[in-house]
A and B are shown apart, each in its own frame.
Chain A
Amino acid sequence: MARRGLAAEAAGTAVSPSRTVTLRISRENPADARGGERGFSVHKVPVEKWTTVLDAILDVKKHIDHSVAVRYSCRQATCGSCGMLINGRPRLACFTKIDELGADTVTVEPMKNFPVVRDLVVGFERLFEAHRGVKPYVVGAGGSGGPPGAAEAAPQTPEELERFVQFSACIKCGLCNSACPTMATDSSFVGPQALAQAYRYVADSRDKGREERLKIIDESHGIWRCHFAGSCSQVCPKGVDPAMGIQLLRGYLLGFRK
């Protein structure tokens, strides 16, 4: 039977049956004068095969409850804004299809190890501060901050690029910091995101700030507090391996790598 609105040649295309899942959204407002206790709002949402968790949350926000707070922007795993715990695991909401979760109930909560601003929105101040702290840019020959000028720009071989290129894919979504067990107890820990970025620039053959950067992370709440749980690498949506970067950085500090 031809469906209304479908072109004749597309009528034979299998259309996935829609289903309904239960979406549990964590609700919390620390700024609330009444104490801001945490709870969940529960909604039944229709989903298709292609529906992402972010789509479902925005569906709730649009049609059921406008007050749900969620941060998002690009909807294509590029901006790193929509990180959250989805069924207990840190993921990007825009990059997670409900269908692939294989569950009838989807629970979304704010990322752990970050202060909650409201509902699913967390504060990234500490992440950005740690990121800035490791000088996330190529330091020029004069030791100046910022990228090298045209005169300083040096070509790289594919092998030199290979050493750090995967770490350039970091979108600063904070999922690695959320999954890190050390971040949970050590509020001063630099974190896997910043350490992976430190490695990215330390391993860059154009960078002249290696010693300075290694000194920054070589302190009591720096690189040595990593227990190599590896959960940061497990949850990275861009395939970055911060745990490996941290071990390679340790090689520089211990003198195994030059």
Chain B
Amino acid sequence: MRESTIMRIHYGTALGAVALVAVHVLFRFTQDFSDSLQYESVIANYQFLPYAGLLEIILVLLSIHGFNGLRVVLLELRQGRAYEKAVSYGCLAAMFAVIAYGSRTIIMASAGTVS
């Protein structure tokens, strides 16, 4: 993939994440802030499907943006064909792992399998 395409995705995910995290923060104003981290409240959020979808999208956007940022930082630290390949594939794998683990949490909480 060309670097300009990757950077387009990088900037796009940043803008998307800012907008959606703003919505996520605004949701906190629907109740007392101290209540928002109560167990029942968190589970209720996950079980409200549009909100669970919002969290999933934020997870994907931030993972893509964050791991590409990490890739860029690591590429600037050291150079070398093997190193750069390892960094690129390593970051891609870590990104998928984080998305998979986060999605699992969201799906399980949303499906009510968390007691």
A178 to B: closest C-beta gap in Å? 17
Closest B residue to A185 by CB, please name it: B76
CB pair A218–B76 under 8 Å, yes or no, is no
CB pair A224–B75 under 8 Å, yes or no, is no
CB pair B4–A221 under 8 Å, yes or no, is no
Within 8 A of B (CB), among A203-248: 218-225
A residues at B contact (CB < 8 Å):
182, 185-189, 218-225, 253-254
CB pair A188–B72 under 8 Å, yes or no, is no
Main SS class of interface, B:
helix
Chain A positions within 8 Å of B72 at CB level: 224-225
CB pair B4–A253 under 8 Å, yes or no, is yes
Interface digits, B80-112 against A, CB 8 Å rule (1 contact, 0 not)?
000010000000000000000000000000000
Chain B positions within 8 Å of A182 at CB level: 76
Within 8 A of A (CB), among B1-34: 2-4, 6-8
| C-alpha spacing A186/B72, complex, angstroms | 11
| C-alpha spacing A254/B3, complex, angstroms | 11
Chain A positions within 8 Å of B114 at CB level: none
Closest B residue to A182 by CB, please name it: B76
Interface centre among A219, A222, A253 (most CB of B within 10 A): A253
CB pair B76–A186 under 8 Å, yes or no, is yes
| C-alpha spacing A253/B2, complex, angstroms | 10
Chain B positions within 8 Å of A224 at CB level: 3-4, 6-7, 72
Partner of B3, one of A186, A187, A188, A219: A219
B115 within 8 A of A: no
CB pair B7–A221 under 8 Å, yes or no, is no
Partner of A218, one of B2, B77, B79, B84: B2
Chain A positions within 8 Å of B79 at CB level: 186-188, 221
| C-alpha spacing A68/B113, complex, angstroms | 77
30 contacts between A and B (CB under 8 A): A182-B76, A185-B76, A185-B77, A186-B75, A186-B76, A186-B79, A187-B79, A188-B79, A189-B76, A218-B2, A218-B3, A218-B4, A219-B2, A219-B3, A220-B3, A220-B75, A220-B84, A221-B75, A221-B79, A222-B3, A223-B3, A224-B6, A224-B7, A224-B72, A225-B75, A225-B76, A253-B4, A254-B4, A254-B7, A254-B8
| C-alpha spacing A222/B79, complex, angstroms | 13
Closest B residue to A215 by CB, please name it: B2
| C-alpha spacing A33/B1, complex, angstroms | 46
B71 to A: closest C-beta gap in Å? 9
Chain A positions within 8 Å of B2 at CB level: 218-219
Chain A positions within 8 Å of B75 at CB level: 186, 220-221, 225
Chain B positions within 8 Å of A222 at CB level: 3
| C-alpha spacing A189/B75, complex, angstroms | 10
Closest B residue to A252 by CB, please name it: B4
Closest B residue to A222 by CB, please name it: B3
Chain B positions within 8 Å of A221 at CB level: 75, 79
B86 to A: closest C-beta gap in Å? 13
Chain A positions within 8 Å of B7 at CB level: 224, 254
| C-alpha spacing A188/B77, complex, angstroms | 11
| C-alpha spacing A224/B79, complex, angstroms | 16
| C-alpha spacing A182/B76, complex, angstroms | 8
| C-alpha spacing A221/B83, complex, angstroms | 14
Chain B positions within 8 Å of A189 at CB level: 76
Known pairs A189-B76, A225-B75; list 10 more (Cβ under 8 Å).
A186-B79, A220-B3, A220-B75, A220-B84, A222-B3, A223-B3, A224-B3, A224-B4, A225-B76, A254-B7
